[in-house]
């Protein structure tokens, strides 16, 4: 039997966080990455352009639900770890089309765990000990906080409110069960809202940057008082590395940016940054574009993360302050006309039409 290699199998590595992680890994760790991605609307090979021609990045176009494919990739590449990002990730889509979330997030994670277990059982004792399955999840599994509630910790009870959060919660429970029942060396991380380069412009921050740039309405759900805790994507990548390298198997780690902001404040700051970096006299101040629209059904009021465990046990903390990260992010999108044009294909336009046409301005 061949030995385990230094290769890492990443799922969903053509998406937002996955592509940032693959680039981070190849550049700073340097071992090979097998990147399994179905290239759904959210997956984009252009995100990985900087790795073109780099033999350390092996891209495989395929589905995490395809157990045979996953099993054969594991036997062929014999990775020392799996970092599992692949998911349907957008709450609004989960409200309109929940079935895809059950399939990918629940059944896909189950297929990954099952194939990982089969492969892990073939390893030598010392390799079995060293192998890791890192399941990447979200703080949304904990439900919603009141404005004065204590932040989510690793022992907060699960209370998912959206179909997205419910599907991620189910996948977390399977990951935990595979450790508890079979001893598979599973690690779990639950992170707050990410932002930064390569995020698909259906999510709040990139959507608002592009609409502000183009002088389109900025659709704020409800009254804009919902609070999210924002983390720059590079900081999420460094946290995942810390969990992978120093985390205790069977444990979960909450990851956050200690940067709680009301949505309206985020959107106003984006307007000011776009005004500063791309002034447009014909538009005037972009804040005028803010439009309050019908709220998201079941909209969670607040997410906040207690990062003390990962800080204390793995010596991790975010490097970038929110204002600095947001400025970098706005500047990144303003310089990426070709990338933006390509991701806003026909399918993107259909989604914008579907999600926003019913949300009349209030």
Positions marked catalytic: 139-140, 164
C-alpha span between 109 and 104 (Å, rounded)? 7
Min dist CB 341 to ligand NAD, Å, is 18
Q: Is 116 in the site for ligand TYD (CB under 6 A)?
A: no
How far lies 276's CA from each of 86, 238, 270, 324, 334, in Å? 36, 30, 10, 14, 12
Closest CA to 274 of 340, 208, 339, 341: 208
- Residues in 181-240 at the binding interface with ligand TYD, rule: CB under 6 A: 193, 203-204, 207, 219-221, 226, 228
Q: Within a 13 Å sphere around the CA of 80, how many CA atoms are in the beta-carbon half?
A: 13
Contact 33, 7 (CB under 8 A): yes
Q: Is 302 in the site for ligand TYD (CB under 6 A)?
A: no
Q: What angle do CA 194, 105, 296 make, to 5 degrees?
A: 60
Min dist CB 91 to ligand TYD, Å, is 4
Task: Count other C-beta atoms under 10 Å from residue 212's C-beta.
Answer: 27
Min dist CB 190 to ligand TYD, Å, is 13
Residue 87 contact partner, candidates ligand NAD, ligand TYD, none, CB within 5 to 8 A by sort of partner:
ligand NAD
Q: Is 167 in the site for ligand NAD (CB under 6 A)?
A: no
Q: Which is nearer to ligand NAD, 58 or 277 (CB)?
A: 58
Enter the tokens of residue 116: 């990982």
Min dist CB 128 to ligand NAD, Å, is 26
Buried b (16+ CB within 10 A) or exposed e, 10-46: bbbbbbbbbbbbbbbbbeeeeebbbbbbbebbbbbee
Enter the tokens of residue 108: 């896909």
Q: Which is nearer to ligand NAD, 191 or 227 (CB)?
A: 191
Contact 250, 177 (CB under 8 A): no
Closest CA to 142 of 167, 160, 155: 160
C-alpha span between 173 and 151 (Å, rounded)? 21
Q: Is 347 in the site for ligand NAD (CB under 6 A)?
A: no
Helices (H), 197-345: 204-214, 233-246, 263-277, 308-314, 322-334, 337-343
Q: Is 273 in the site for ligand TYD (CB under 6 A)?
A: no
Q: Within a 13 Å sphere around the CA of 140, how many CA atoms are in the beta-carbon half?
A: 24
Q: Is 167 in the site for ligand TYD (CB under 6 A)?
A: no
Min dist CB 323 to ligand TYD, Å, is 18
Here's the x/- map for ligand TYD, 82-111, by CB under 6 A: it reads as ---------x--------------------
- Residues in 98-157 at the binding interface with ligand NAD, rule: CB under 6 A: 104, 108, 136-138
Cβ-proximal residue to ligand NAD, closest one: 15
Please work out the total of residues on this chain that contact ligand TYD, with binding judged by CB under 6 A.
12
C-alpha span between 309 and 291 (Å, rounded)? 39
Q: Is 14 in the site for ligand NAD (CB under 6 A)?
A: yes
Q: Which is nearer to ligand TYD, 226 or 252 (CB)?
A: 226
Residue 200 contact partner, candidates ligand NAD, ligand TYD, none, CB within 5 to 8 A by sort of partner:
ligand NAD
Min dist CB 42 to ligand NAD, Å, is 3
User: Which chain residues interact with ligand NAD by CB under 6 A?
Assistant: 11-12, 14-18, 36-40, 42-43, 63-65, 85-87, 89, 104, 108, 136-138, 168, 191, 193-194, 200
User: Which chain residues interact with ligand TYD by CB under 6 A?
Assistant: 91, 193, 203-204, 207, 219-221, 226, 228, 263, 296
């Amino acid at each position: 039997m061949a030995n385990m290699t230094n290769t890492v199998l990443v799922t969903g590595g053509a998406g937002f966080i996955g592509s940032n992680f693959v680039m981070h890994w190849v550049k700073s760790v340097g071992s090979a990455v097998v990147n399994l991605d179905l290239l759904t609307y959210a997956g984009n090979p252009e995100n990985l352009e900087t790795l073109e021609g780099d033999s350390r990045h092996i891209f495989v176009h395929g589905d995490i639900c395809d157990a045979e494919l996953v099993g054969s990739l594991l036997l062929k590449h014999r990775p020392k770890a799996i970092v599992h990002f692949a998911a349907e990730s957008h709450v609004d889509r989960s409200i309109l089309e929940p079935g895809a979330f059950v399939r990918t997030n629940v059944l896909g994670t189950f297929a990954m765990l099952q194939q990982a277990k089969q492969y892990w059982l073939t390893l030598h004792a010392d390799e079995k000990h060293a192998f890791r399955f890192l399941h990447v999840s979200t703080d949304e599994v904990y439900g919603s906080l009141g404005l004065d509630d204590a932040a989510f910790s690793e022992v907060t009870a699960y209370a998912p409110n959206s179909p997205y959060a419910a599907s991620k919660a189910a996948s977390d429970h399977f990951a935990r069960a595979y450790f508890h029942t079979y001893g598979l060396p599973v690690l779990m991380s639950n992170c707050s809202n990410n932002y930064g380069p390569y995020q698909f412009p259906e999510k709040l921050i990139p959507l608002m940057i592009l609409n502000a740039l183009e002088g389109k309405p900025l659709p704020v759900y409800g009254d804009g008082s919902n609070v999210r805790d924002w983390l720059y994507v590079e900081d999420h990548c460094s946290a995942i590395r810390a969990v992978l390298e120093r985390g205790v198997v069977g444990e979960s780690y909450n990851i956050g940016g200690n940067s709680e902001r009301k949505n309206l404040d985020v959107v106003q700051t984006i307007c000011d940054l776009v005004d500063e970096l791309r002034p447009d006299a014909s538009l005037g101040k972009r804040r005028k574009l803010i439009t309050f629209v019908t709220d998201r059904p079941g909209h969670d009021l607040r997410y906040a993360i207690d990062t003390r465990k990962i800080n204390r046990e793995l010596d991790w903390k975010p490097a970038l302050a929110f204002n600095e990260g947001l400025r970098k992010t706005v500047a990144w999108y303003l310089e990426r006309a070709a990338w933006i044009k390509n991701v806003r294909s026909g399918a993107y336009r259909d989604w914008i039409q579907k999600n926003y046409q019913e949300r009349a301005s209030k």
